[in-house]
Amino acid sequence: MNFFTIKRVLILGVIVAAVICLLPTFTNTWPHKKINLGLDLQGGMHLVLEVQSEEAVKTELDRTISQLKLDLKNEKIQHMGIDKAPDHKIIAQISGADNRSAVEKLLSDEYAGLEIPSVKNIDGGIIFTLRLPDKEADSIKKMATEQALETIRNRIDEFGVSEPDIRIQSGNRILLQLPGISDPERAKGLIGKTAQLTFQLVDEQGDVNAALAGKPPVGDEILYQVKQNADTVHQSRTPFLIKKHVELDGSHLTNARVEFDQFQQPQVGIEFSRKGARIFERITGANINKRLAIVLDNNVYSAPNIQDRISGGKAVITGHFTLEEATDLAIALRAGSLPAPVKIIEERTVGPTLGRDSVRMGLTSMLIGGAMVVLFMAIYYKGAGLVADIALVVNILLIGGGLAIFGATLTLPGIAGIILTIGMAVDANVIIFERIREELLAGRSPKAAVNAGYDRATLTIIDANVTTLIAAAVLFQFGTGQIKGFAITLALGIVASLFTALILCKSIHDLILANKQSDTLSI
């Protein structure tokens, strides 16, 4: 009889394919697809950020309000206040009832994107209620998330993390997987920095202390300069009365890099675009002997006195930085600001030592558990047990090959899944072998018993495995990263064990029986 039947060639083909897929993990050969270790095994940081996208909508409303004020001023229409209201509304109190048609024309010409839910006449004026449509607000939020993703990706790239995985998880949530990161706290600081840079004038007429006690004058806000003292525990906060109007912002930046002052203190030098440089020149020219505050994320970094018109479009940010802080700030400014602040809502960081320990312990329990199962099968079922043991080894090869070729990630629960599969894979063998023993007892010849055993057990085995496969599929659908890893190895293991138990083992048994004319079977 020819050894190479089609069936045997196919079986060998599957095994060889699995080995080829598995090899690159150890030797870096073709097809160059390795089993990825999960963050829990190689160490690294898993972060979920929530973009406070509502803030982006508020910023947009603020921008609309200041534009509207400007337009009204140009049209010489007086107003008694234009403010934000809940539910994305803007309440504009216009003086003089006779301005109604002029305002309506302005709104329909320039602000067609806004809804006007109500217009009310009051004593001495009209109240226009404007509203940003939900569709518009949603698209601003979506844009904010996408832009934040892009910005964070740029920052991470500059920070230097190999193979980061950054994507939108759902809605306004961004998922970051940063493997092998050595300084997670620094990375978090860099990612979370909004880096909104603005240049605003200091209100030289106002009195800071009066403003602190009561309310700041209209159009002003109180911002602080925070200085970390040398002991690193205490900080001093100096209040500044700052004009709300933003003269220039970070969007006109073209470059930012670390420089050193004459005392070798790190500072961040920035360069403006041509337009930015022109604006900067105009502001400095018009405000000589006033202070211009450099505000980053609502903190005043410095408020130098303008001595002269500054052309050339260059400025420096000073603020007693460490070199690390200056580097990160430069990266953040170069990569652009976040359109809205982000909040870390989930973090899972595993240090490299724990990852190594987990791999070691996972492999140890796999080897020992596997060895015990192999031993048990060989003792309990003798020859047939050895067949099952071969199948078990092939099974693990298949799981490994499958993990590699699908580019799946092996996590600690994933290793648990493989260990579990080792115990479950021989179940099919047990069911078949017990059936064969029954058939032998009933007086059948070994060949007939083997055939009957495999035939009758097949359906039961498939059914029993389908239910576990359903559980694995549901886990894959609903699970988070680590649990997904478990679901994948479990599902791969089940499919592999169906192949090894029903096809490979049957084939080996056929081979044994074909070459042997005796009427005994080692089982």
Partner 1 sequence: MQFIKPGTHIDFMGMRKIAFIFSLILILASIVSLIIHNGLNYGIDFAGGTLVQVKFPQKVDVSDIRKGLGGIGLKDVSVQGFGEQEEHEYLIRTSSDADALGNQLSDSVSKGLKGATSLEPDIRRVEMVGPQVGNDLKEKALLAVFYSLLLITIYISGRFEQKWTIAGITAGALMAAVYFLSVFNLPMPFLIAAALVVSLVLFWYLQLQYAIGAIVALIHDVIITVGVFSLLNLDFSLQIIAALLTIIGYSLNDTIIVFDRIRENIKGNSNHSLVLDLFNRSINETLSRTILTSFTTLIVLVALFLLGGEIIHNFAFAMIIGIVVGTYSSIFIATPIVLMAHRKR
- Show contacts with partner 1 in window 79-138 (CB under 8 A): none
Strand-strand pairing, 36-37 and 409-410: parallel
Beta-sheet strands, E only, within 141-250: 165-170, 173-179, 197-202, 220-228, 235-249
- Show contacts with partner 1 in window 38-57 (CB under 8 A): 40, 48, 50
Which of the stretches 186-194, 206-214, 269-277, 297-305 binds partner 1 when contact is defined by CB under 8 A? 186-194
Which of the stretches 114-122, 155-163, 474-482, 504-512 binds partner 1 when contact is defined by CB under 8 A? 474-482
Distance in Å, CB of 183 to partner 1, minimum: 9
Q: By CB under 8 A, name the one of 423, 445, 516, 522 that touches partner 1.
A: 423
Outline where 75-197 has alpha helix (H).
100-110, 134-159, 184-192
Q: Is the dihedral of CA 29, 32, 36, 41 positive or negative?
A: positive
- Show contacts with partner 1 in window 331-350 (CB under 8 A): 343-350
Contact string (CB under 8 A) for partner 1, positions 484-513, x = contact? --xx--x-----------------------
Cβ proximity to partner 1: between 311 and 522 the closer is: 522
d(CA 410, CA 366) in angstroms, rounded, equals 14
Number of residues lying near partner 1 (CB under 8 A): 76
Q: By CB under 8 A, name the one of 106, 306, 469, 511 that touches partner 1.
A: 469
Distance in Å, CB of 444 to partner 1, minimum: 14
Distance in Å, CB of 177 to partner 1, minimum: 15
- Say which amino acid occupies 73: K
Which of 219, 280, 224 is closest to 245 using CA atoms?
219
3-state secondary structure (DSSP) of residue 490:
helix
- Show contacts with partner 1 in window 361-380 (CB under 8 A): 361-362, 364-366, 368-370, 372-373, 376-377, 379-380
3-state secondary structure (DSSP) of residue 218:
coil
Distance in Å, CB of 477 to partner 1, minimum: 7
Q: By CB under 8 A, name the one of 189, 206, 217, 269 that touches partner 1.
A: 189
Q: By CB under 8 A, name the one of 12, 316, 474, 514 that touches partner 1.
A: 474
> Using the rule CB under 8 A, is 452 a contact of partner 1?
no
d(CA 407, CA 356) in angstroms, rounded, equals 21
Query: Residue 98 — left, alpha, or beta (φ > 0 → left; ψ -120 to 50 → alpha)?
Result: alpha
| Crossing angle for the helix pair 446-478 and 505-514, to the nearest 10 degrees | 170
